[in-house]
């Protein structure tokens, strides 16, 4: 999931940038009032914050997966060490 | 004698499998389509200008934050009735994703409010009740994190979720129930016909579908992760 997510992030960001460029021109052409154009920063703030929020959450999930994998590895090592300890004491 | 250790749980650590991967790919493709529709296809609103395009992200986020608390409540009711861990894991996963969606809905709403209303925040019924919903999610997460562990914590959380979910339908109908500065529904059964031009409605529906798939993907991933967390906790407890 993590690797697939990372592979998808780059094309999505590039897609957003590619789509955003003509949008600015389109928005400027289609609105006559300068007041409407001043709202562009608000629009981009929304899209950036939403993406940042989701990527931060995905990052949190992937980090938690890594932690769990490490915990599982340590449990495996403990389990493997158990019979050796028993045979030493025996 | 050679000791063998099962690698079963390792294979499923935080992995939702093929369904989850398929959802992610579909969601990514639909997201590109949504961005195309939102930025290049739909016309710019004559009154609100480009800031109206915020609606295509804000509305799905807000709707899914309401759906999320309903999922938490239903899963919690099932958990209380059957005492199974699966439904509790669904409730927990949905609550965690719900708080992400609710936070983003409030933030995007505030950013929409500034150019349109001139203020970031107003104590409008719909906004205030959405903030209450955010506190319900926060209370649930805090209870699960710092409250009693195990089945007792799950039970307390379930009761809180059932009480908190009452807020969801009130938030949904707040603009209709009270005099609200927040716009009324633009899609759905209670929306007035023609309240949104066809092109805008299509873009909004596709955006809602995209975010719904993202929501489903996140639920699956978080559910599997939650189950693994519980399994590992039990393993640790069995060792000590």
Interface predicted TM-score (ipTM): 0.82
Classify residue B156: in a domain, yes or no.
yes
Range(s) of the domain holding residue B160: 53-227
Classify residue B82: in a domain, yes or no.
yes
B5 touching A (Cβ < 8 Å) = yes
Q: What are phi and psi of B139, to 5 degrees?
A: -65, -40
Classify residue B203: in a domain, yes or no.
yes
Classify residue B155: in a domain, yes or no.
yes
pLDDT at A80 over 60: yes
Q: Distance (Å, rounded) from C-alpha B75 to C-alpha B69? A: 10
Residues of chain A positioned with their CB less than 8 A from the CB of B15? 1
Residues of chain B positioned with their CB less than 8 A from the CB of A46? 54, 57-58, 108, 111-112
Residues of chain A positioned with their CB less than 8 A from the CB of B236? 71, 75
Tally of domains within chain B: 1
B49 by DSSP, 3-state: which? strand
Rg (CA), chain B: 21
Please list the pLDDT of chain B residue by residue as tens digits (240 residues): 343 334 444 445 556 678 888 999 999 999 999 999 988 888 888 777 888 889 999 999 999 999 999 999 999 999 999 988 899 999 999 999 999 999 999 999 999 998 888 889 989 899 999 999 999 999 999 999 998 888 888 999 999 999 999 999 999 988 888 877 888 777 776 667 667 788 888 999 999 999 999 999 999 999 999 998 888 888 777 776
Check B239 against A69: CB less than 8 A apart: no
Look at residue B94 in the predicted model and tell me its pLDDT: 96
B37 contacts B101 by C-beta, under 8 angstroms: no
The residue with tokens 């998808």 is: A8
Look at residue B237 in the predicted model and tell me its pLDDT: 75
pLDDT at A90 over 60: no
Residue B215: which region, alpha, beta or left (left: phi > 0; alpha: psi -120 to 50)?
Answer: alpha
Query: Which residues, 6+ apart, have CB-to-CB distance to A53 below 8 Å?
Result: B100, B103, B104, B107
Check A36 against B50: CB less than 8 A apart: yes
Classify residue B215: in a domain, yes or no.
yes
B195 touching A (Cβ < 8 Å) = no
Q: Distance (Å, rounded) from C-alpha B119 to C-alpha B132? A: 20
Look at residue A33 in the predicted model and tell me its pLDDT: 47
Classify residue B12: in a domain, yes or no.
no
Classify residue B11: in a domain, yes or no.
no
Work out the burial of residue A56: count CB atoms within 10 Å of its CB; fewer than 13 is exposed, 13-18 middle, 19 or more buried: exposed
Give me the residue from B31, B58, B225 closest to A61, CB to CB.
Answer: B225
Q: Distance (Å, rounded) from C-alpha A49 to C-alpha A54? A: 9
pLDDT band at A86 (very low <50, low <70, confident <90, very high): low
Look at residue B151 in the predicted model and tell me its pLDDT: 83
> How far is residue A37 CA from its own chain's centroid?
30
Q: Distance (Å, rounded) from C-alpha B64 to C-alpha A32? A: 35
Closest to B165 (Cα-Cα) out of B138, B134, B140, B133? B133
pLDDT digits (tens, 9 = 90+) for A10-63: 565 555 555 544 444 444 444 444 455 678 889 889 999 999 999 999 999 999
Rg (CA), chain A: 25
Closest to B141 (Cα-Cα) out of B201, B226, B38? B226
Look at residue B57 in the predicted model and tell me its pLDDT: 93
């Amino acid at each position: 999931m993590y690797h697939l997510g990372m592979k998808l992030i780059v094309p999505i960001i590039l897609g957003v940038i590619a789509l955003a460029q003509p949008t600015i021109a389109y928005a400027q052409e289609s609105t006559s009032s300068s007041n409407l154009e001043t709202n562009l920063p608000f629009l981009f703030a929304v899209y950036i914050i939403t993406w940042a929020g989701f990527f931060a959450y995905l990052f949190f999930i992937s980090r938690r997966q890594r932690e769990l994998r490490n915990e599982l590895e340590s449990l495996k090592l403990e389990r493997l060490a158990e019979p050796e300890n028993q045979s030493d004491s025996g | 004698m050679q000791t063998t250790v099962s690698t079963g749980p390792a294979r499923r650590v935080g992995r939702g499998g093929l369904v989850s991967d398929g959802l992610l790919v579909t969601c990514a493709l639909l997201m590109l389509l949504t961005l195309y529709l939102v930025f290049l296809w739909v016309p710019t609103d004559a009154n609100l200008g480009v800031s109206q395009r915020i609606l295509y992200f804000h509305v799905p986020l807000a709707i899914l934050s309401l759906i999320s608390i309903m999922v938490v409540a239903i899963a919690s009711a099932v958990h209380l009735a059957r005492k199974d861990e699966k439904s509790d894991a669904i409730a927990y996963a949905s609550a965690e994703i719900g708080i992400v969606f609710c936070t983003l809905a409030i933030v995007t709403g505030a950013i929409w409010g500034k150019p349109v209303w001139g203020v970031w925040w107003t104590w409008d019924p719909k906004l205030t009740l959405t903030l209450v919903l955010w506190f319900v999610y926060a209370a649930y997460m805090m209870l699960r994190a710092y409250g009693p562990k195990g089945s007792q914590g799950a039970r307390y959380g379930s009761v809180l979720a059932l009480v908190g979910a009452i807020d969801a339908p009130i938030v949904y109908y707040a603009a209709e129930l009270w005099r609200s500065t927040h716009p009324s529904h633009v899609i759905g059964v209670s929306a007035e016909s023609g309240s949104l031009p066809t092109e805008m409605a299509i873009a909004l529906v596709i955006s809602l579908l995209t975010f719904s798939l993202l929501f489903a993907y996140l639920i699956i991933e978080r559910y599997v992760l939650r189950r693994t967390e519980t399994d590992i906790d039990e393993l640790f407890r069995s060792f000590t």
